[in-house]
Amino acid sequence: MRRPFRNINRSAQTISRRGLILGGAQAVFIGILGLRMRHLQVEQADQFRLLAEENRINIRLLPPIRGQIFDRNGAIIAENEPSYRITMVREDAGDITHVLNELTRLIELDPDALNRAIAEMNRSAPFLPVTIADRVTWEEITRVAVNAPVLPGVTPEVGQSRRYPMGRIFAHVVGYVGPVSTRDLERIQDPEPILRIPRFQIGKVGIEAEFETALRGRAGSKRVEVNSLGRMMRELDRKEGETGANLQLTVNAQLQDYIQARLGDLSASAVVINCQTGDLLAIASSPSYDPNKFVRRISFADFAALRDDERRPLASKTVQDAYPPGSVFKMLTALAALDEGLITADETVQCSGHLEVSGRRFHCWKRAGHGKVDLETSLRESCDVYFYELALKVGIEKITKIARRFGLGTAHDIPMSGVASGLTPDKNWKRLNRGRDWVVGDTVNAAIGQGYVLTSPLQLVVMAARLASGKSVVPRLIKKIDGIEQPNRQDPPLDLQDEHLQQIRKAMYQVSNNRRGTAYRSRIIDAKFRLAGKTGTSQVRNITEAERKRGVTKNSDLPWKRRDHALFVNFAPFDAPEIAVAVVVEHGGGGSTTAAPIARDITLQALYDGDPPLSAYPAKDRSKIKAQRQELQKLRQPFQSSRKSKV
């Protein structure tokens, strides 16, 4: 039976609506699918490409080459040398224990070093390479390379290691490098990724630490293709890092070497400065140590020996230590009195061997006294009573003001670790730091460089250079950075009358060249290079009245640590000063007997730029100097064979 036309038309309309709805739904689904595919293939293409490449590409940091350090003449002080090592990446190795067992069959591994390496791997990110064996031989490197298929994650590498060819000569100046520690990372704000590589080395002390960023340079990187086992297949590209800056110091390596040999086993320090430019020509502390041991991981026994040595070889005595300056401070007390117009050079004081001040007796070093003395005589023979009298006239505030003008009480800006500021006290300082008022006895002690006054050898040599030149000489240790000359800085002028400075210089000349001078036995005979100086002996113990009555105990009869410090400062040549020298010998006894001969020998070495003729010394000293020179030559032999390089 035929369906009515109306029913057929209604059925067709229903089918059309369903088809439209179904087609529309399909279109929406296809549209959403297309948008999603576009999002994945276009907008997120880089992310998925990176995820895919990370399965076969590793990015590895390339440590930069550290900058070298030279002396003023181009002699190498710190350099880099090739170092073969074997590293392991934990995420590439898989079973670490198995891989290490295979590695120990090929080369001998130190158990302690291996345990440290495993601990480092557990602490570090899994993708960072950890050094398993350092300073291995070429034969061991080739053995590992040949067996690479059974050592996943293990890579033989050629790196750079720091080397100090002059060893102990510059240990206190240049310092050394060592592995980055947790403490290092904590004190560095936003540390570079290269610093997190286990055993990466940075400067720990000295110039290596102070110029760490410049010397380190910037790390490079390389992309390598690896297979499913983590084995490197090929290097895809490489971006080289930036080599660290080369530094040229103001020091003269040959002079520095001589001083280290001359100081020998003494607990002592010596500094030489150019009076005109402020260049530090030598800055030596004794005894010293070999910084190469720290680079190669110093043993507990070796470190304990350095740490426990009473002469403190690890300390940079030239800048870190501060001593009572003793009589070398007397020039400043005299200048304070002259500058204030309180005395003239001709005025005299009667020295009877002591002076009563506020019911206390202050003694002169010469028990019987010096008799009648003026400014020149008091400095020449180092009369204490003369300066006690000056102290009562001048007062501590004016003495301290002059001392600071000559560089004392200042932490000079040179790139060495722990530069001390010393102490030039005044009334306010004692009130704040001791909780007591300043008394006149404090001023009397300060006038002869005792009591609260403390100075470093670096400060003393700056003082001597300013006395010699009349200028505000500022010490400089860095001569050039990557060939660029570093400027010389000058402090404000001394603003002192030249007549007063000339009077002090003349008295210092008498100290070394007058028969009654305290340093006459350490004079220079060569008229062109005559020196002007001042001896100093600073006490480290109190001498009781009872001891004075029975006779003060000789230094030689006291335990080493209770003996006086010996000091000497000088400049030369007297007529046209070129250099100034400061020497401090801890517990060395008298400045005239211990420090002055050393300073005289150093002065001649600096002025002659090598061994001076024996005729420059007093006749009675020449045989002794000749024998001494032969002994020092043996100690200096390693330096003389070291090579030089153009900066």
pLDDT of 495 reads: 87
Q: Over the stretch 540-584, which tens digit does the pLDDT of each residue have?
A: 877 777 777 777 788 877 888 889 999 999 999 999 999 999 999
When pLDDT is averaged across residues 466-492 and rounded to a whole number, the result is 92
Residue with tokens 């350490």: 522
What torsion do the CA atoms of 256, 260, 261, 267 make, to the nearest 10 degrees?
160
Confidence class for position 51, pLDDT limits 50, 70, 90: very low
pLDDT of 84 reads: 80
Residue 121's SS3 state is helix
pLDDT of 552 reads: 79
Task: Using the predicted structure, report yes or no on whether residue 5 has a pLDDT greater than 60.
Answer: no
Show the domains of the chain with their CATH numbers: 63-69+98-158+170-246 (3.90.1310), 253-640 (3.40.710.10)
Could you tell me what percent of the chain has a pLDDT over 70? 91
Confidence class for position 157, pLDDT limits 50, 70, 90: confident
pLDDT of 560 reads: 86
pLDDT of 640 reads: 47
pLDDT of 271 reads: 98
- Among 272, 281, 317, 276, residue whose Cα is nearest residue 479: 281
Phi/psi of residue 535, nearest 5 degrees: -85, 155
When pLDDT is averaged across residues 116-124 and rounded to a whole number, the result is 79
Task: Using the predicted structure, report yes or no on whether residue 628 has a pLDDT greater than 50.
Answer: yes
- The per-residue pLDDT of the chain, averaged, comes to 87
Task: Using the predicted structure, report yes or no on whether residue 644 has a pLDDT greater than 80.
Answer: no
Q: Over the stretch 351-368, which tens digit does the pLDDT of each residue have?
A: 999 999 988 999 999 989
Can you tell me the distance from the alpha carbon of 512 to that of 568, in angstroms, rounded to the nearest whole number? 11
Task: Using the predicted structure, report yes or no on whether residue 127 has a pLDDT greater than 80.
Answer: no
Task: Using the predicted structure, report yes or no on whether residue 443 has a pLDDT greater than 80.
Answer: yes
pLDDT of 641 reads: 41
- Angstrom CA distances, 329 to 300, 345, 606, stand at 42, 17, 24
Residue 1's SS3 state is coil
Task: Using the predicted structure, report yes or no on whether residue 221 has a pLDDT greater than 70.
Answer: yes
Can you tell me the distance from the alpha carbon of 606 to that of 478, in angstroms, rounded to the nearest whole number? 19
Could you tell me what percent of the chain has a pLDDT over 90? 61
- Angstrom CA distances, 348 to 248, 378, 395, 443, stand at 50, 9, 19, 20
Paired tokens of 388: 């006690």
When pLDDT is averaged across residues 123-142 and rounded to a whole number, the result is 78
Cβ-contact 533, 568 below 8 angstroms: yes
What b/e readout covers 279-316, taking b as 16+ CB neighbours within 10 angstroms?
bbbbbbbbbbbbbbbbbeebeeeeeeebeeeeebbbbb
- Angstrom CA distances, 99 to 5, 96, 102, 131, 138, stand at 87, 5, 5, 14, 21
Confidence class for position 2, pLDDT limits 50, 70, 90: low
Cβ-contact 216, 201 below 8 angstroms: no
